[in-house]
Structure 1
Amino acid sequence: MGALFTPYGIPGPVWSGAPTVVADRGLLPAGLALGTLAVAAVLAGWRVRPPVLAAVPFAGAALPVLLVAVGAPWPVLPAATLLAGVSALLLAALLTPRWALASLVAPTGAVLAVSGVTGFLATRSGTLVAEGTLVVAAVVIGVGARLAGVRVAGSVAAVGAACALAVSATLAGGLPVRAAAYPLLGVAVLVLAVAAASGRRLVVGRVLDAAAQAVALVAAVLAVESARHLATVCVLWGWPWRCGCCGGASRPVDGGGSRPSPPAVSCSGRGCCWRRAG
């Protein structure tokens, strides 16, 4: 477990910089033993078809142990574990459902993917790359998985990863957290469009519809410290609001979205102190 989640010792703060790598030769026998077990599992895995699936847990454990033992430079270890984990998850989701895929490959892939993302949190660029990889993988699973439940899980994971990417990109650019409300709102619009295209009668469409509303709500929560940003988010999403100073209310524009009416001269916030229209 140490090679998976603390390969460079006690992790520092997020985005504290690339860690110093020191080879741990003492882990080499353990890594070789795990590799031997992987080969033995292939040879003895007569109950698993194909037999190579029986070796996935041992190979997944051997990968980070061997990389730590030889002192692989950063970001080789997190990149290898992330790619291996994502590949295992895609394999489990896209192939014909089997017992071995659900019980051996999928859990191993999830652990490796989490380990890889954790390792990439050391830098801003690494975080964005890791989250972008998760978005792509989750979208592929959400679209192409064999089982309906897996497609729903992949779709929800894609929404979560996209939200994390939107927030991380905003913070990596040095902007305040309230600025992340706008890219989050963009994610919500995209998810809502996908939900409409997939059909709200389907389970995936209903789940994505609810997810879009949840993302929009999170965007509003992030903008709550600034009344102006909160008003903008709510009006863009189509929620009716009214200025608490002058009573100016958002109104429909040609049957489409809504926009704020001009604030009165006495409005202290010039339209920035909106409250929901009741």
Structure 2
Amino acid sequence: MAKEKSVYVCSNCGQESPKWIGKCPGCGEWNTYVEEIIRKESGPKKVSTGMESVKTRPITLNEIEAADEPRIDMYDEELNRVLGGGLVQGSLVLIGGEPGIGKSTLVLQTVLRIPEKRILYVSGEESARQLKLRADRLGSASGECLIVCETSLEQIYVHIKNTRPDLVIIDSIQTISTEILESSPGSVAQVRECSASILRFAKESHTPVILIGHINKEGSIAGPKVLEHIVDAVLQFEGDQHYMYRILRSIKNRFGSTAELGIYEMRQDGLRQVNNPSELLLSQDHEGMSGVAIASAIEALGLF
């Protein structure tokens, strides 16, 4: 018989507490504890002694062969540069941004351009018809891109087993839930458990996975902070919805530099790569003029 237990979890760092507290002792944030219901199966449990055979054995550094990680060409120069040269096999990449900024458009138009790769696009927010309309608007089509609308983690693994994709896209991680937890999708416990399970799948099967996530009003990835710790790369898609330009920056990257930027222009037919950012900043010809200095500035209007 299952027993229910209530525990309070910090939505910022994931630290647990048996009761609600105002200030988290782990990260120091205020009013971040939310209640989660955990079900535990009662009855005797087999306890492992740790003396059974294991899958791996400890080895020395001299026995490890150091080589460049094989990468998948995303056929997008801006995205490849931000990733550090392409998508690494078995990596888990998180792309975050505000709702409506163009995260799904960026990922969809990118995977539709990759040839000879079987891609599974898991949508938890949009229907298959909506994705079809967006793909037609982007003007791209790929016969190897499979679309499935699913929010159950267990069913997603069934689809992966049946299709054996080379790349998995999950849009978004806040909509995925697992049956082992009673909490609703998007909660701290669900995001943490689903992300950890997807990470194990990516490392064991060497299948790269791209997660799409939302950000909260403070500008950080929605969900527990542990989500950003377990993934291999965190990419932030930024920009103003009232303007046409978008910036893709790397906040964390285990396989490349975090000093790279990708610039896109939002158009009716999708995102256009801006290979030469100077064309956006230098719209006038100042050749032959002396005493001209170029600078970039942000103008903000406020009420005082």
Name the TM-score, length of structure 1 as normaliser. Answer: 0.27
Greater RCO, CA 8 A, separation 6+: 2
Higher helix share: 1
Name the TM-score, length of structure 2 as normaliser. Answer: 0.25
Which structure is larger by alpha-carbon Rg, 1 or 2? 1
